[in-house]
Structures are given as structure tokens and as C-alpha cells.
């Protein structure tokens, strides 16, 4: 299974988001990770569907949209219309998980389900057959630049054992120092913010991350 690198727009220069998105495509990214926060589910506010629509006009990258919001069922359609190709929402949100999965799939969009560091993996296991991806948060969601939490790795390993062909994404503190641990436990989609956008040579950073993770991909 191939390794996918999804730079996190949260670490970009927000005054130049269109250029930053296009730059990631030129640098060899596979996806673009777009964090949507509502100030309620997490204590931060980022961007909405109109911004995603504008970004869609600037790059052909696969849009990996992470809804860190209380009511994804209400807003998923707006993001799909704006150009999202994967919608990931949280099992801890206030909407019914199964209903939200069905609604996103009905929109013709891939669907992922995310889990916070302190939520047991059992919360997500019943939904695996309906999912295209699971996102294991390796930091507390809400702000970029946090340190990778190794204690989340047993969840990644359990998910890989339960679903050998599933896309398993990790997000938070992913860098050249931490990506091997995540890949070894079964992750194959890697969200990297500061490690890519903050690098002097983002293309080289993406290439390095990929080269470290690929030997573990099976």
C-alpha cells in the first residue's frame, strides 16, 4: 500500500493560501489537508467552504478536509460542493456517526472518521466497514505545532490489524523524527504541517518523509 503525504494548510501562510496550495502540488504532495474548526468542538476557528472553493481553483491536489466541528452533518454538503474529495469528521461530534457517514457517501464523497487521543479505539471499530479512512489524532486537535504523542500508536496498530486495507492517517507532530514510528504501527497517510511548510525546501521535506515511511508500507 502506497504512502500518502498530506501537508496541513494550517501551517501555511494564510495571507497566501492559494499560492501555498499550488506550491505543495509543485513540491510533490499527494493530498492537501484542510483543517476546518468551528470554535466549539475545538477552541480555534479556521476557515469555511467559500475558502475551500477558492483553493479548488488554484490546485489539482486531492482535498483532504478534516471537519473538527460539532455538526458535520449540517456542513458536509457545503464542503463537497466546494471541492472536498475526502471528508473526515470526529466520532466525538454531536451528530449521529452512522447517519453522517451515510450522508457524506450519498454526496459522492469519500468519508473518514477521526478519533481524539483520549478516546478509546473501540469507539471507531464498529464503523470500519463503511469508512474509506480513519484519522488517529496524534495531538489534541485545535492548534498546529504540537508534539507527537507516542501513546496513540497502539490505536493505529489495532486499526491496522482490524482493517488491513484501510487508509490510516495520523495528524499532529508528524516529522522526520516521528513518521517511522507511525508507519511501523500501520499508518500510511501522513499529515505534516510545520515539517513541510516550515522547511527551507518543502520538496525535499516531502521526499524525506516519504522515504522514511515507505519501507514500512506493505
Answer whether residue 125 shows pLDDT above 80: yes
Q: How confident is the model at residue 142 (pLDDT cuts 50, 70, 90)?
A: low
Report d(CA 66, CA 115) in Å as an integer: 11
Model confidence, pTM: 0.96
Cell 486537535 appears where? 141
CA of residue 38 relative to chain centroid, distance? 16
Catalytic, 13? Answer: no
Catalytic, 30? Answer: no
What are the residues whose beta carbons fall under 8 Å from the beta carbon of 111, sequence distance 6 or more?
A: 86, 87, 88, 101, 104, 105, 130, 131, 132, 133
Write the DSSP symbol of residue 8. Answer: B
The distance between the two most distant Cα atoms of the chain, rounded to a whole number of Å, is 43
> How many structural domains does the chain have?
1
What number of CA atoms fall less than 13 Å from residue 72's CA on the CB side?
A: 33
Active site residue: 13, 30, 35, 38, which one? 35
CB 157 within 8 A of CB 182: no
Answer whether residue 143 shows pLDDT above 70: no
Q: What number of other Cβ atoms are within 10 A of residue 60's Cβ?
A: 10
Answer whether residue 100 shows pLDDT above 70: yes
- Phi-psi domain of 182 (left: phi exceeds 0; alpha: psi -120 through 50; beta: other): alpha
Beta bridge partners of 136: 115, 170
Write the DSSP symbol of residue 167. Answer: E
**Residues 145-154 pLDDT 10s:** 668 999 999 9
**Residues 46-91 pLDDT 10s:** 999 999 999 999 999 999 999 999 999 999 999 999 999 999 999 9
At residue 140, the pLDDT reads 84
Q: Which domain holds residue 66?
A: 4-216
CB 135 within 8 A of CB 169: yes
DSSP character string of 49-93: HHHHHHHHTT--SEEEEEEESS-HHHHHHHHHHHT-SEEEEETTS
Cell 490505536 appears where? 155
At residue 91, the pLDDT reads 97
CATH code of the domain covering residue 166: 3.20.20.70
**Residues 28-57 pLDDT 10s:** 999 999 999 999 999 889 999 999 999 999
Amino acid at each position: 500500500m502506497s504512502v500518502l503525504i498530506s501537508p496541513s494548510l494550517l501551517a501555511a501562510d494564510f495571507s497566501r493560501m492559494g499560492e501555498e496550495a499550488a506550491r505543495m502540488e509543485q513540491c510533490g504532495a499527494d493530498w492537501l489537508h484542510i483543517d476546518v474548526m468551528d470554535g466549539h468542538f475545538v477552541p480555534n476557528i479556521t476557515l469555511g467552504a467559500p475558502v475551500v472553493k477558492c483553493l479548488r481553483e488554484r490546485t489539482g491536489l486531492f482535498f483532504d478536509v478534516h471537519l473538527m466541528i460539532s455538526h458535520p452533518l449540517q456542513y458536509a454538503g457545503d464542503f463537497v460542493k466546494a471541492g472536498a474529495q475526502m471528508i473526515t469528521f470526529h466520532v466525538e461530534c454531536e451528530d449521529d456517526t452512522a447517519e453522517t457517514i451515510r450522508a457524506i457517501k450519498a454526496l459522492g464523497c469519500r468519508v473518514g472518521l477521526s478519533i481524539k487521543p483520549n478516546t478509546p479505539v473501540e469507539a471507531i471499530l464498529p464503523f470500519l466497514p463503511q469508512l474509506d479512512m480513519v484519522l488517529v489524532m496524534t495531538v489534541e486537535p485545535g492548534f498546529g505545532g504540537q508534539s507527537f504523542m507516542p501513546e496513540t500508536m497502539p490505536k493505529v496498530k489495532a486499526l491496522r490489524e482490524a482493517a488491513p486495507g484501510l487508509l490510516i492517517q495520523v495528524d499532529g507532530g508528524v516529522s522526520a523524527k516521528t513518521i517511522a514510528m507511525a508507519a511501523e504501527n500501520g499508518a500510511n497517510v501522513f499529515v505534516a504541517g510545520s515539517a513541510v511548510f516550515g522547511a527551507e525546501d518543502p520538496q525535499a521535506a516531502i521526499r524525506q518523509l516519504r522515504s522514511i515511511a515507505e519501507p514500512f508500507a506493505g
